[in-house]
Amino acid sequence: MDPIVLLTVCCVALLVVFDYTNGFHDTANMVAASVATQAMTPAQAISLVALFTFLGPLLGGTAVAETLGQFVSLDDQAPRLGISIVLAGVIGAIGWNLLTWWRGLPSSSSHALVGGLVGAVLAATGPDHVHWGWGALLDEGEWTGVAKIIAALLLSPLAGLLAGYLLYKLLSLCLRRASPSVNRPLRRMQWLGAAWLAFSHGTNDGQKSMGIITLVLVLGGFLPAFQVPYWVMLLCASAITLGTMAGGWRIVRTVGFGIYKLRPLHGLGSQLAAAAVIGGAAWFGGPVSTTHVVSSAVMGVGAADRPRAVRWGKAGEVLFTWLVTLPVAGLLGALTCYLLEVLL
């Protein structure tokens, strides 16, 4: 088999695995609030979330895919080297995803993918082949490249925290005279909240592998220009959905029970806040971490209700994982790149 074809197949296969681990690792956060508040059984929640996660990549556009597929520039490299670099970055991201899943930590697949790719590119070709975007931001005020990605990844948790806090305050004000029986319709509304959150997640997270696969196809000469084929959309939607259906109960426990003890109003508020932030970022083309946004939205509703009841120790553990993901995934991507150079 032609080496370029073989490398392309391996890279696409690993990106499908990455999407699967993304579903296994990240999408469990879609069901955490619904399960923790007993609005749904785990089986009901995972089935609903899987359906709308599948629809997200197919109906949500390609803005995030375009951002992620064009923040590194490898067009001037030989196809074999360019695809090998992407392959190394993806391996680094998958390694970090699996490690944090095993430890039950809600880290970011988005951080891992970006960190792995940047580390591999820096190790193989140097900083000139990364589209940093700082010049365009300072000169023209335009968000592009790594600057846009980092801004989305860093600001989205803050937006989730603020949205969760404000939305819970608003819902509490509207329901201040309601009787405890209001919990029943609130649990029903969580079905809508979970569906919206899953669709937003599919729209944002499902596009990440779409963008990198399209980049690989361009580097290998299989596409004349960067345009996501429909079969790539369908492939990535299927992979992330299968991962969603496969599990992730460890992280459900961390987000749904470990940060703050959720009741139906908390669950609905955190779902709506997270869905709005993730969906808005997808429209903007900013890749965000579903895990970060969902966790911060839970913290927001908890802080709005009873700040002292928020388990800030667990939140601090999650925050530490967020901070180390980019550099560690970058290091894994760089090490994998050096290893592939030796082997290939």
Across residues 87-101, what is the average pLDDT? Answer: 86
d(CA 56, CA 338): 36
Give the tokens for residue 194. 């979970």
* The pLDDT of residue 259: 47
Residue 251 has pLDDT above 50, yes or no: no
**Structure tokens that stand for 297 in this block:** 């939205």
Task: From residue 203, give the alpha-carbon distance in Å to each of 29, 40, 65, 247, 280.
Answer: 15, 23, 10, 20, 10
Mean pLDDT of the chain: 85
Q: Measured on CA atoms in the order 55, 59, 60, 63, is the torsion positive or negative? A: positive
pLDDT in tens, 217-250: 999 999 999 999 999 999 999 999 888 887 655 5
- pLDDT tens digits, residue range 173-201? 888 777 777 778 888 888 998 899 999 98
Domain ranges for the chain: 3-343
For residue 253, the model assigns a pLDDT of 52
Q: What is the pLDDT of residues 22-77, one digit of tens each?
A: 787 666 677 777 777 777 877 788 888 889 999 999 999 899 999 988 888 888 88
